[in-house]
Structure 1
Amino acid sequence: MTDKPSKKQQVFTLVVEVGRKAGDGLPDKASGAGLICFASGVDEAEAVRETVAVLKQAGLAPLDVTGHGTAGDRRAQGHEIGAEEVALMDRALAENAVIVAQMDPFFD
């Protein structure tokens, strides 16, 4: 019997839109927020599931997640990835974690 090779963890860039929820910590007049997250997973679907779970645990209300692929995917699309972003991605991989790199509140 041969063992299936295990899939390697990768880091995915996700953009998450969150709505309002009591105690979410967003500014009073905000209608929600946009987050840029770096999340590890064997595939993008796992990274999305883990990110949604972590954000819910943090008291946020995820509404929509858009995947932008791995750093390699993004570079292939012509994106420039700075040293700070690379450091956060490396941390997400090393810690098997979801890192919220940026949060921008939405105001109507």
Structure 2
Amino acid sequence: MTEKPKKPHHVYTLLVEVGRKPDDGLPEGATGAGLMCYASGVDEAEAVRETVTVLKQAGLAPLDVTGYGTAEERRAQGHEIDAEEAALMDRALAENAVIVAQMEPFFDGDEDD
């Protein structure tokens, strides 16, 4: 029996918007958060599915995912990727993992009406 050759994995940059859920660990008063993630997958759709699954397992409520592509695709669009970001991407690939690099809580009422 021949095994199918494994498809190469790539790391995708994803921005995930999450809502609130009991015991989600977000700060009191936050209405949700934006999470910058690096996720490994054979394609962006797989990376998105894996990321949503991991975040749900962590007790978060993913609402929306915006994909920014691979490092190569981002560089082609003129994005600068610093050494720290590249290291996180390398880790996501090496561990076949989802890395949450940054979380920014959202609050209503921050602006003056």
The normalised TM-score by structure 1 is 0.96
CA distance in 2: counterparts of 1:19 and 1:105, whole angstroms: 10
Specify the SS of the correspondent of 1:13. Answer: strand
Amino acid at match of 1:8: P
Instruction: Please state how far the C-alpha of 1:3 moved relative to its aligned partner.
Output: 6.9
Specify the SS of the correspondent of 2:6. Answer: coil
Across the aligned residues of Structure 1 and Structure 2, the Cα RMSD in angstroms comes to 1.4
Which protein shows a greater Rg?
2
- Give the aligned partner of residue 12 of structure 2: 12
Percent of counterpart pairs with the same letter?
80
- Give the aligned partner of residue 44 of structure 1: 44
5+ unaligned residues in a row in structure 2: which ranges?
109-113
- Give the aligned partner of residue 85 of structure 1: 85
Amino acid at match of 2:66: T
After the TM superposition, which parts of structure 1 deviate over 2 Å for at least 4 consecutive aligned residues?
A: 2-6
Output one character per residue of 1:49-91: Cα deviation in whole Å (capped at 9) or x when no partner: 0000000000000000000000000000000000000000000
Instruction: Please state how far the C-alpha of 1:7 moved relative to its aligned partner.
Output: 1.6
Residue 54 (structure 1) aligned with residue 54 (structure 2): yes
In the comparison of the two structures, how many residue pairs are matched? 108
5+ unaligned residues in a row in structure 1: which ranges?
none
